[in-house]
Amino acid sequence: MASLIPAQGPTLVTDKALILNRRNLLAAGSAGALTALLAACGGGTSKQSSGAGSKNALGVTLPAGSAPASDQYYVQPFDSTGVTYKAMDFYETVYSRAPLADQFTIPLVRLTKNYGIVPAAATSWEQSSDGKSWTFHLRKGINWSDGAELTAADFVETLRYSADPKHAWDFAWFWSGVIKNYTEAVAGKVPTSEIGVRQGADKYTLVFESDAPVAFMPSACLYTTPLSAAALHKHGSGQYNIDPATSVTCGDYALKTFEPTSTVVLEPNKKYSGPIKPPIAGLVAKIYAGGDMLPRFQTGEVDTINAGPIDVKAASRNSQLKKLHLYKNPQDFKIWYVFFDVTKSPFDKLEVRQAFAHSVDRDPLVNNILAPLASPAYGYLMPGYPFAIGDELKQYTNYDPTKAKSLLAQAGYPNGQGFPAVTFDWFPNAAASSDSVVQALVENWNKVLGINIKLQQIDQTTFYDRMNKKPTEITMGMVSYGMDYFDASNMLSVYKSNGRHNWNNKQYDDLLAQGAAESDKTKRQEIYTKAQVLLTQQAPAVFIFHPLYGYYYGPYMQGAALTKNDLGYDGIQWPGFSPTSDSMDTLHVASNVSDSKRQPQTLLGS
């Protein structure tokens, strides 16, 4: 075990302030303990470089080519600039979840790497004949770490908690209109016990009820990561999961350290009794307040990094990194688009909007600025997303300057004459290179259409505040949307009436309502095709690009989780963590880790 025993954290600490830094002590201690824990439970010795066939700390048999059990942990970096970390659970807060959140629990369903839905906590589910309710049958024998069994009550209590006006959940729109009485409960008009979630025939049966049939319920149930009903009652909120002393888990992992400014560490849950069997037994999140991630990856501080176009270019100049494979996948199938205020001149004219749609030359943008991590967007839904269509939409959004000019002339602004001064609001987002993208777009439009759009940069908070106001205060702006669950009803609902934007189209709303209720897949595709055509042709927005997320993994991170899926995307697919992604059952550290620069666990929290 000699090589794996960690050095004791920061050495030769002479400065008092450093010694007394609680964070360091905790981190160093935890790092040491974690490694010891893994080693003790693993049972393998470091002399062998292979752990294949042995069991990790969770009792999972390691696949062929694995490193020993003591190496089966995964270190991920997180950039904390601009984000807040409040809790570890989706139902406590969505926007402020800490790294490694939602791993103390198991949702009803999981996703495969080809985005299919498979059982997780639920073994099977069925829709009622009138379509207005769904029944999920829970697996028996999944226990919480406090001894109680996972039952329908946990799901029911969690969802009621999310609707509680006193809890003031920041994602309350998610179940509004899906679960019966949810909106009313949030508004305080009915008690939360009346929302359409209840135990069924027995404690292993869960029933969802809605006012209208909901075809996509299983997809939406990906994020039914329950809190422990007992702990919820005891502590009054889901915050019990940020303190190792009070945290209750029924998942593979338990909370070891929660230091939201430096590190979050999850250790294996020794009391685990569920169905999910990941080879990776320990998870470490290293939280950085900015700075360049590439050097941290090169020095082995972390096992993976997210790479943007600049990182990819930088890597291509580095002799070692050049050889590394760049994994690419769409994660949450995001789209970046430019939206208009369709109630204000000149964007109240359809021809103007369509002229804009036909005058964007996406290829130079995507191939020069964003390459290799973007694809041009001709429709709202990214190809590969359920019910997305592609080629049928090109006729409405392809680059055709002649057509664009004639459309503009039809609208009454030949060659841009008389076109009012327009301000294009945008906020900086380095990941999307938004500063370069908007400048390219504006220059493009000004040249092709002969108009004068002015750019106005504002900070993100002000931008969203202005955009979300009713009536909206942004005439023209660029924004993104990434899905919340895998169904066309989710992405397309962004353009529902009285939603995020002010394009209100009854036909579109009706189509969406039909699609949500329709169970037959072919019929749904027809409905959503119509909806997408309508949305694209009416052009309340111009679709610019779909980003791809780039990842580098240490060569010792292996498994089917990383290989290409049916769409040709590789790397860990969305959502990318064990309770929700079944491919994580294959991710493991391979025996070539001993050849790599991977730093021992002790440098946690430095």
**CA proximity to 548, closest of 306, 364, 262:** 306
Provide, rounded to whole angstroms, the least separation between the CB of residue 502 and another protein.
12
Say if CB 330 and CB 471 are below 8 A apart.
no
Which among 55-63, 120-128, 286-294, 334-342 is the span making contact with another protein, rule CB under 8 A? 286-294
Q: Does 494 help bind another protein (rule: CB under 8 A)?
A: yes
Stretch that binds another protein, among 6-14, 63-71, 150-158, 210-218 (CB under 8 A): 6-14
In the complex, the smallest distance separating the C-beta of residue 544 from another protein, rounded to whole angstroms, is 14
Quote the least distance from Cβ 518 to another protein, whole Å: 22
DSSP reduced 3-state for 242: helix
DSSP 373-419: SEEE-SSSSPBTBTT---HHHHHHHS--HHHHHHHHHHTT-GGGTTP
User: Does 23 sit near another protein (CB under 8 A)?
Assistant: yes
Smallest distance, another protein to C-beta of residue 92, A: 10
**Partners of 340 in the β-ladder:** 476
Which H or E run includes 122?
A: strand 122-127
Judged by CB under 8 A, does residue 442 bind another protein?
yes
Please pick, from the candidates 132, 203, 277, 296, the single residue that binds another protein as defined by CB under 8 A. 296
CA within 13 Å, CB half, 598: 27
Closest CA to 427 of 395, 399, 462: 462
**How near is the Cβ of 551 to another protein at its closest, in Å?**
18
Min dist CB 351 to another protein, Å, is 27
For residue 28, give Cα distances in angstroms to 158, 255, 274: 35, 16, 31
Region near another protein per CB under 8 A, out of 343-351, 380-388, 393-401, 491-499: 491-499
In the complex with another protein, the residue whose CB is nearer, 442 or 516, is 442
Residue whose pair of structure tokens reads 């290409």 in the numeric block: 564
Query: By CB under 8 A, what part of segment 505-564 binds another protein?
Result: none
Region at 272 (left for phi over 0; alpha for psi -120 to 50; beta for the rest): beta
Q: Which is nearer to another protein, 423 or 519 (CB)?
A: 423
* Binding piece for another protein, criterion CB under 8 A, among 115-123, 209-217, 432-440, 508-516: 432-440
* Binds another protein by CB under 8 A, chosen from 4, 190, 230, 314: 314
CA distance 186 to 179: 12
Tell me if 550 sits within 8 A of 312, measured CB to CB: yes
Q: Helix or strand or coil: residue 238?
A: helix
Site for another protein in 110-169 (CB under 8 A): 165-169
DSSP readout, 183-234? HHHHTTSS-GGGSSEEE-SSTTEEEEE-SS--TTHHHHGGG--PPPHHHHHH
Region binding another protein by CB under 8 A among candidate stretches 101-109, 207-215, 494-502, 563-571: 494-502
Using CB under 8 A as the binding criterion, the count of chain residues that bind another protein stands at 93
Choices 44-52, 77-85, 99-107, 214-222 (CB under 8 A): range interacting with another protein: 77-85
Cis peptide before 346 (omega within 30 of 0): yes
430, 431, 436, 441: CA torsion to nearest 10: -130
Q: How far apart are CA 133 and CA 199, in angstroms?
A: 12
For residue 6, what are its two tokens? Answer: 């960690």
Under rule CB under 8 A, residue 435 binds another protein: yes
Which range binds another protein by CB under 8 A, 9-17, 32-40, 119-127, 574-582?
9-17
**Nearest to 309, CA basis, from 287, 285, 328, 323:** 328
Range 188-207, binding another protein (CB under 8 A)? 188
Residue closer to another protein (CB basis): 335 or 590: 335
**Sole binder of another protein in the list 117, 206, 294, 377 (CB under 8 A):** 294
399 binds another protein (CB under 8 A): no
Q: Residues 566 to 605: which contact another protein by CB under 8 A?
A: 605
Q: Return the range that interacts with another protein (CB under 8 A); candidates 91-99, 373-381, 396-404, 545-553.
A: 91-99
Residue 231 burial class via C-beta count within 10 angstroms: exposed 0-12, middle 13-18, buried 19 and up: buried
Looking at the Cβ atoms of 88 and 215, the one nearer to another protein is 88
CA dist list (Å): 103 to 86, 162, 364 = 15, 18, 41
Cβ proximity to another protein: between 237 and 594 the closer is 237
Q: Name which of residues 259 to 278 contact another protein (CB under 8 A).
A: 260-262
Which of 55, 86, 235, 564 is in the footprint of another protein by CB under 8 A? 86
Cβ at position 256, least distance to another protein in Å: 16
Q: Which is nearer to another protein, 6 or 499 (CB)?
A: 499
190/567 with CB nearer another protein: 190
Least Å from the CB of residue 523 to another protein: 26
CB 116 within 8 A of CB 220: no
Spatial distance between the Cα atoms of 137 and 168, rounded to a whole number of angstroms: 29
Q: How far is the CB of 427 from another protein (least distance, A)?
A: 8
Q: Which residues contact 189 (CB under 8 A, 6 or more apart)?
A: none
CB nearer to another protein: pick between 369 and 534: 369
CB within 8 Å of 360: residues ≥ 6 apart: 397, 399, 441, 444, 445, 542, 544
Query: H-helix or E-strand containing 552?
Result: strand 549-553
Kindly indicate which of the ranges 83-91, 226-234, 547-555, 568-576 contains the residues binding another protein, using the contact rule CB under 8 A: 83-91
Contact set for another protein, span 447-476 (CB under 8 A): 454-462, 464-466, 468
Q: Which residue among 5, 6, 21, 33 contacts another protein (CB under 8 A)?
A: 21
Site for another protein in 221-240 (CB under 8 A): 239
Pick between residue 199 and residue 606 the one whose CB is nearest to another protein.
606
Q: Of the candidates 15, 147, 323, 421, which one interacts with another protein according to CB under 8 A? A: 15
